């Protein structure tokens, strides 16, 4: 394997893998044996290396603890049928990582550093990839502001880390969602399109309220009029209405999801009609009231496709189509096929490690 960046590797001499059932772990609980870390100081990324997984020591003055300069990505590596390991759409995730970093006035991470750090880490910890169908290695690259200063300012120092955790078979129970018209997730001109920490902290309370009211998740609406559908929880949302695949167009408030993009490409290749545009609550409700089939689903790296079984608008609850022959499941299946090598990877989405 050719590498253009030399990354020193300090291996652990005691793997935590023996004795762990990596096919049956609660999501995000078990770090793999190693992590990648690089430091940004004096205007450049330095000291890139792979180390045994370890805790961070941070001063209470560390900027990211106070003012939210943190950005992350969520990606997956898959075991292919020929036992190779591939990382899904590394390129596209890297592009988004840098757009998020830019918005938070943080230094971009060069492609080589991102790619080589991740490839070598995943290669080193490849035994942590579960064997079960539908399982994967979840990869979390992130950057935090580490200058020690109790003042609101752009940090002069950062850490870039990559950590990984095995994720077992993911079966997602169809979701009951409510259209959220009190709280909002993102406003035009804000940071909704960025994967920065604050977006998730601010969504916790509305989500907790929805769960207390008997829902699994909220369907966010726009900040201005609470009129148009935005996203579903921390996933993009797609609707199949009368054989047309409709999803909110990308904007400053919508996260540019890699899963969303992948599904749209698959749909267009199949000849399905795809519309990226605003969809109002009123339009959605009219479709749900009619006798056409409506499928609704969330799309994101963790669940891939999360079927929505009901949508509550005000006091009315409407059922969506979630039977086995629903089209949304076929997207998940085709994506899985590409990732394992069963379906030809025509777009070069697999970055084989």
Binding site for ligand PLP (CB under 6 A): 74, 195, 231, 234-236, 255, 257-260, 299-301
Shortest Cβ distance from residue 236 to ligand PLP (Å)?
5
**Number of CB atoms found within 10 A of residue 295's CB:** 20
Shortest Cβ distance from residue 195 to ligand PLP (Å)?
5
Question: Which residues, in sequence order, are CB contacts of 101 under 8 Å at separation 6+?
Answer: 71, 107, 108, 109, 143
**Number of CB atoms found within 10 A of residue 124's CB:** 19
Shortest Cβ distance from residue 184 to ligand PLP (Å)?
13
Q: Which is closer to ligand PLP, CB of 45 or CB of 72? A: 72
Shortest Cβ distance from residue 89 to ligand PLP (Å)?
8
Query: Whole-angstrom Cα distance, residue 320 to residue 294?
Result: 5
Both tokens of residue 197? 């920490």
Shortest Cβ distance from residue 202 to ligand PLP (Å)?
11
Q: Which is closer to ligand PLP, CB of 50 or CB of 306? A: 306
Tally of residues, the chain: 353
Q: Which is closer to ligand PLP, CB of 124 or CB of 245? A: 245
Shortest Cβ distance from residue 254 to ligand PLP (Å)?
8
| Residue from 3, 20, 51 nearest 129 by CA | 20
Q: Which is closer to ligand PLP, CB of 32 or CB of 259? A: 259
Query: Whole-angstrom Cα distance, residue 61 to residue 151?
Result: 9
Q: Which is closer to ligand PLP, CB of 120 or CB of 253? A: 253
Query: Whole-angstrom Cα distance, residue 186 to residue 191?
Result: 7
Instruction: Find the helix packing angle between 90-103 and 258-269, rounded to 10°.
Output: 140
Residue position matching structure tokens 């300069």: 69
Q: Which is closer to ligand PLP, CB of 221 or CB of 234? A: 234
Tell me the CA distances in angstroms from 319 to 116, 178, 292, 333, one per residue in order. 46, 12, 12, 23
């Amino acid at each position: 394997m050719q590498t253009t960046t030399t990354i020193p590797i300090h291996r652990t001499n005691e793997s935590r893998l023996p004795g762990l059932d990596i096919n049956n772990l609660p999501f995000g609980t078990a770090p793999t044996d190693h992590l990648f870390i690089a430091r940004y100081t004096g205007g450049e990324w330095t000291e890139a290396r792979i180390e045994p997984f370890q805790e961070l020591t941070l001063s209470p003055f560390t900027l990211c603890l106070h003012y939210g300069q943190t950005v992350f990505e969520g990606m997956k590596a898959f075991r292919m049928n020929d036992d190779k390991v591939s990382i899904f759409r590394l390129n596209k995730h890297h592009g988004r990582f840098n757009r998020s970093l830019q918005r938070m006035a943080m230094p971009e991470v060069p492609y080589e550093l991102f790619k080589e750090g991740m490839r070598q880490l995943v290669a080193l910890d490849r035994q942590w990839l579960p064997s079960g169908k539908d399982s994967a290695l979840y990869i979390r690259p992130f950057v935090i502001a580490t200058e020690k200063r109790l003042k609101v300012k752009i940090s002069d120092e950062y850490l870039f880390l990559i950590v990984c955790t095995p994720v077992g078979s993911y079966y997602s129970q169809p979701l009951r969602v409510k259209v959220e018209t009190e709280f909002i997730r993102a406003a035009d001109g804000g940071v909704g399109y960025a994967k920065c920490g604050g977006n998730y902290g601010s969504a916790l309370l509305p989500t907790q309220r929805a769960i207390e009211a008997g829902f699994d998740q909220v369907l966010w609406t726009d900040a201005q009029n609470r009129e148009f559908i935005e996203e579903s929880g921390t996933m993009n949302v797609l609707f199949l209405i009368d054989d047309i695949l409709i999803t909110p167009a990308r904007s400053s408030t919508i996260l540019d999801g890699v899963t969303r993009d992948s599904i749209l490409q698959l749909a267009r290749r199949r000849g399905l009609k795809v519309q990226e545009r605003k969809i109002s609550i009123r339009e959605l409700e009219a479709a749900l009231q009619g006798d056409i089939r409506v499928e609704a689903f969330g799309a994101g790296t963790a669940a891939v496709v999360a079927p929505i079984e009901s949508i509550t608008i005000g006091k009315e609850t409407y059922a969506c189509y979630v039977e086995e022959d629903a089209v949304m499941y076929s997207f998940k299946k085709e994506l899985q096929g590409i990732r394992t090598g069963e379906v030809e990877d025509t777009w070069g989405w697999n970055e084989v490690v």
